[in-house]
Amino acid sequence: FRMVDLIQKKRNGAQFSKEEIDWIIENYVTGFVPDYQMSALAMAIYFRGMTTQETADLTMAMVNSGKQFDLRSIPGIKVDKHSTGGVGDKVTLILAPLVTSFGVPVAKMSGRGLGHTGGTLDKLESIPGFNIEKSETDFIEQVKKTNIAIIGQSEELVKADKLLYALRDVTATVDIIPLIASSVMSKKIASGSHAILLDVTVGDGAFMKSVDDARVLAQTMVDLGKSVGRETVAVITDMSQPLGFAIGNRNEITEAVETLHGKGTHAFRTFIAELAQIMLSLAGVEKSIEAILSHLDHGQAYEKFVEMVRAQNGDPDAFDHLCAPLKTAYRIDILADRAGFVTEEKAYGMGIVAMKLGAGRVTKNDHIDFEAGIQLAKKVGDKTQKGEVLATLYSNAVITDELVLEFKSTLVITDKATSPKEIIEIIRS
C-alpha cells in the first residue's frame, strides 16, 4: 500500500480492509508512516468515520502493536476500570481498594493528566515515595500478594496508542468515537483483565458533550469488549460539573482518603458504591449497596488502600500531612455574588483554571505542583447566601485577577433548584 492512497480512500469515504488497517498501524509504529500522514488520516477519519468492523480491526491492530499482559497466574476474575477522562475524577483511588476489599483482584494501569483533565498517576505521586513504575513480574507479584496495584501504562503496551494519542492531542483529533473507542479498548484488552467497567463521561468537562454521543461511544466499546471475550459494562456519568469537591492532585488524595474513611456526601458515596457493585458483579460477586458502603464506613477499603501504598513504596505515615488543607503561597476564596442555588459549575473551565494554578499540564513534559488546585465548598444544587465561600483557589504562583474572573465565569447561581444525577445510564452487552 501507499499511505497517500489510503488517506485519499478515507477522505473519499470508503471503508478500509483489515489488511489496510494492519499495514497503517504497523508502519506507523516503525516510523515508516510519518506523523504528518497519520494526522491527515486522523482528520479524514474525523469527517468520514469508521464502521464497526473497521473500529474492531483498528483496535486489534493497536493491541498487536505492543506487548500483551498475561494475568492468568493471578487467581480469580480480574476486573479493570477505565474513565474517558474528567475533572476531579478520583474514582479509581476509591473504587479499586473498595472492590479489592471484597477479595476481587484489581490490576490497573492508569494515565497522567493533560490539559483540563487530571490523571490518577499524578494524584498517586503526590503521596511521598509512591512508585508507579513496576515491571510486569513485580506488578503481577504485587497483585498476587495484595490483590491490588495501580501502575503507569507499560512503555511496551499498545505502542500505537502512545504515538497516536500524542498526535491526536495536537491536531484536534481526540474527540472521535472510533479513535477513542480503539484507544481505550486496545489498552484494556492488552492489559489482560477478564472484565472491564468503562466510565464514559459526558458533558462540559468530557470529550463527549451529548448523551447520544456518549451512548454511541459506550455501545461501541461494550461491543468491542464482547467481540474479544471480555465482559464489558459501560456507565455513562455526568461530567458537566467536577466530580466531588477537590480538583488537583494532593487534595484529591485527601478526598479519596476521607471517602475511604466513611466521609463524603450521600450522593458521592452512593455513586462510588454503585460503580463498585457493577465491578464486583462482573467478577461474580453480588453485594448490596449497604454492604459496599459498610466497607467504606468500617475501614476495610481503607486498609487495602494503605496496603497498596506500602507495596508501592509510598509512605502511609504521610497521610496526616496528606489530609491537611492545601498549603500554598497564595490562596483566594471565591464568594457568591448573590443568594440562590448553584446551578452550574462548568467542569471544563474549572479544569483549565486548575491547570493554570499549577495542578495540570499544558504539554506532556510540564511539571505539576501537587499542592495547587481548587477546593469547592458548594456543588450544583446547593443553596448559597450572598458572600458565602463557593470555592478556594490554591497556587504557589500569584493568582491573577484575570484567573479569578475566569474561574468566576464557570459558576452560575440562579433561583432554580436542580438535583444532578451522577449515573445517567448503564450499558451492558
Residues forming contacts to ligand URA in the complex (CB under 6 A) are: 84-85, 165, 174, 179-180, 183-184
Strand partners, 332: 393
- In whole angstroms, how close is the CB of 408 to ligand URA at the nearest point? 29
Q: How many CB atoms lie within 10 A of CB 303?
A: 15
403/427 with CB nearer ligand URA:
427
Cα 142 from Cα 134, distance rounded (Å): 10
Three-state secondary structure call for residue 100: helix
C-alpha distances in angstroms, 176 versus 182, 183, 289? 10, 11, 35
Cα 29 from Cα 259, distance rounded (Å): 42
Question: Closest residue (Cβ) to ligand URA?
Answer: 183
Contact between 11 and 44 under an 8 Å Cβ cutoff? The reply is: yes
- In whole angstroms, how close is the CB of 179 to ligand URA at the nearest point? 6
Contact between 199 and 237 under an 8 Å Cβ cutoff? The reply is: yes
Cα 305 from Cα 95, distance rounded (Å): 10
Q: Measured in whole angstroms, how far is the alpha carbon of residue 303 from the centre of its chain?
A: 23
Cα 384 from Cα 342, distance rounded (Å): 7
- In whole angstroms, how close is the CB of 87 to ligand URA at the nearest point? 14
Nearest CA to 339 out of 388, 372, 304, 299 is that of 388
- In whole angstroms, how close is the CB of 415 to ligand URA at the nearest point? 37
- In whole angstroms, how close is the CB of 171 to ligand URA at the nearest point? 13
**Cell numbers 475524577 label which residue?**
89
187/194 with CB nearer ligand URA:
187
96/180 with CB nearer ligand URA:
180
Q: Across 71-160, where does the E strand assignment appear?
A: 79-83, 106-110, 148-152
**Residue 54 host element (H or E):** helix 52-63
Q: Across 203-320, where does the E strand assignment appear?
A: 231-238, 246-248
171/396 with CB nearer ligand URA:
171
- In whole angstroms, how close is the CB of 84 to ligand URA at the nearest point? 5
Strand partners, 394: 331, 373
- In whole angstroms, how close is the CB of 35 to ligand URA at the nearest point? 17
- In whole angstroms, how close is the CB of 82 to ligand URA at the nearest point? 7
85/244 with CB nearer ligand URA:
85
Q: Can you say whether the dihedral through the CA atoms of 188, 192, 198, 201 is positive or negative?
A: negative
58/149 with CB nearer ligand URA:
58
State the Cα torsion 10-16-20-26 to the nearest 10°: 70
The residues that are catalytic are: 82, 161, 168, 183, 187
58/380 with CB nearer ligand URA:
58
Per DSSP bridges, beta strands 195-202 and 79-83 are parallel
174/334 with CB nearer ligand URA:
174
Cα 306 from Cα 185, distance rounded (Å): 29
**378 Cβ neighbours under 8 A, 6+ residues apart:** 336, 342, 384, 388, 390, 391
